[in-house]
Amino acid sequence: MIGGWKYKPEIFDINNSLANTSVSNTHSLGQILYTDYIHVFQISGMILLVAMVGAIVLTFRQRSGLKRQSYIKQISRERAEGVEVLEVQSNKGVKIDD
């Protein structure tokens, strides 16, 4: 659209653009995008698709030494495994192991 005056002078005709007010800006932008620049639009979509698949592949690779979250273990655990009730004496400090 920006360089249309250089390559296609018929895209921006001041007399024609003022007379046709029944077409919205969104409709005219879509018409130009899907007729004149369809190949560029399709290529950019393919580049975005390849980038998305590449990001997914890099995320799901197996690496050793990492802790994995197991949602099955989190859902199926019992209260006794996750909560421990302690008797704490008042006015006593916390013992930190060195």
Is residue 14 in some structural domain? yes
Task: Report how many domains make up the chain.
Answer: 1
pLDDT at 4: 46
pLDDT band of residue 5 (cuts 50, 70, 90) is: very low
Q: What are phi and psi of 74, to 5 degrees?
A: -70, -40
Q: Which domain holds residue 23?
A: 4-62
Is residue 91 in some structural domain? no
Residue 36 CB-density burial (10 A; 0-12 exposed, 13-18 middle, 19+ buried): middle
Residue 7 CA, chain-centre distance (Å), reads 34
Is residue 29 in some structural domain? yes
Is residue 77 in some structural domain? no
Is residue 54 in some structural domain? yes
pLDDT, tens digit, 9 for 90 and up, residues 38-70: 899 999 999 999 999 999 998 887 778 888 888
Arithmetic mean of pLDDT, 12-16 = 57
Mean pLDDT of the chain: 78
